[in-house]
Structure 1
């Protein structure tokens, strides 16, 4: 049977596993695989494992309990090893790298921030700031056959939306960076211009949250911030 891996910790981590439940139905008992200075918290992997709510919650609960007791490298849901022996082999081979990352992440949590701009607010700003956009818009409204102008207006607006989003993402990230230890950018989606994770010292979470609130207030009602956390520092493992 395959081995399901929840997290990596130091071998001296207080692994209080008896009251925790692993994935599967019935839940799999947890155990530790140790190799030198590091350990992996694992269980048997149930057959046909999928990201059902029950199992995702069990995975997260194990991580939260481990993080409450010290530095933990969280693994994403569904990580499997062939068996305990292979897990121990990998632990031993990469122990120095795991120790370095455990030291870096000790006492830190992750916050994930997405930001979006109200579409109507953005279009109004583009129209107000671009004479070309206003002229193209006037032509498409007065001439139903202005096909080329309609295409040109769409292309102009798309360029402006992308450029303004990139500029605002850079500015917002720069303003929030001093309140975090590290950050990890992800690709922005069609509905938001900012998608970034921040590694924040646990002792500084209030300062970070304050900085996010102030940035949202500075930008105003035309922007929508979605902040998720505190989370295990998945983006920094």
Structure 2
């Protein structure tokens, strides 16, 4: 039967998994496969597994339990392979690489930050601070504008919004940079203009969080900063 793989840890990790169950309905039993001085936490892979809330939560609980006792390489939800021999071969074949990554993650956790700027507030700021945008907007509103002016205003606002968001995103990342050991920027979705994950050492976590709160207070209600964590370091595996 196929094997579901949750994470990779060092062979000397306590792997205290009492009371924690794997994915599936009924929940599968967790076990370990060793090789190359490493250990993979696995279970049987249920048929027809999908990203149901119950199973995603079970996958996450395994990572969190392991993180409490040491470094973890968490695999993404849904990772399966043929059997224990395939798991063992992967551990042995990339033992040095996995061991080095575990060392780099020891004593760290991941935080994910997303930021959005209220569209109406951003438009107000652009009209307040850009003479060109304000003049075009005034002409359009009082009826003296042309269709070309409306197009020009739209293009100007789009450029200004992108420039301001890029500058703010850079400033946020730079403010938090002293308190992280690594960072991973991903493409933002929806109304967000920034999506970045940080790898935060335990001894800098307090300052990292305090700086995040300070940034949120400085930006005020126009910008929304959403900080999630601590999380398993998925973005740095």
1:162 corresponds to: 162
Query: Equivalents in 2 of 1:223, 1:157: separation in Å?
Result: 17
Structure 1 range deviating more: 2-11 or 81-90: 81-90
1:141-194 Cα deviation digits (max 9, x unpaired): 233983222121111111111111001100111011111121111123341222
Name the residue aligned to 2:104: 104
How is 1:28-177 mapped onto 2 (pairs within 5 angstroms)? 28-143=28-143, 146-177=146-177
> Judging changes above 3 Å, is the alpha-carbon distance between structure 1 residues 87 and 144 closer, same or farther for their aligned structure 2 residues?
farther
Distance (whole Å) between structure 2 residues aligned to residue 68 and residue 152 of structure 1? 56
What does residue 4 of structure 1 align with?
A: 4
1:18 and 1:30 in contact (8 A); partners too:
no
Please tell me whether the aligned partners of residues 121 and 222 of structure 1 are also in contact (alpha carbons under 8 angstroms): yes
- What SS does the corresponding residue of 1:32 show, helix, strand or coil? strand
Contact residue 181 and residue 200 of structure 1 kept, 8 A: yes
- The answer to whether the 8 Å contact 2:136/2:145 transfers is no
The residue that corresponds to 1:192 in the other structure is 192
Runs (4 or more) in structure 1 with deviation over 6 Å come to: none
Q: Secondary structure at the match of 2:187?
A: coil
Q: TM-score, normalised by structure 2?
A: 0.95
- Runs (5+) with no aligned partner, structure 2: none
Distance in structure 1 (CA, Å) of the matches to 2:189 and 2:70: 34
SS at match of 2:40: strand
1:99-148 CA deviation, whole Å, 9 max, x = no partner? 00000001110111111112222111111222221222123223398322
Residues 183 and 196, structure 1, Cα contact 8 Å, conserved in 2: yes
- 2:216 corresponds to: 216
- Structure 2: how far apart are the matches of 1:69 and 1:155? 53
Unaligned 5+ segments in structure 1 are none
What is the CA RMSD across the aligned residues, in angstroms? 1.5
Change (3 A) 1:234 1:153: same
* 1:231 has 2:212 as partner: no
Structure 1 window deviating more from structure 2 (149-158 vs 167-176): it is: 149-158
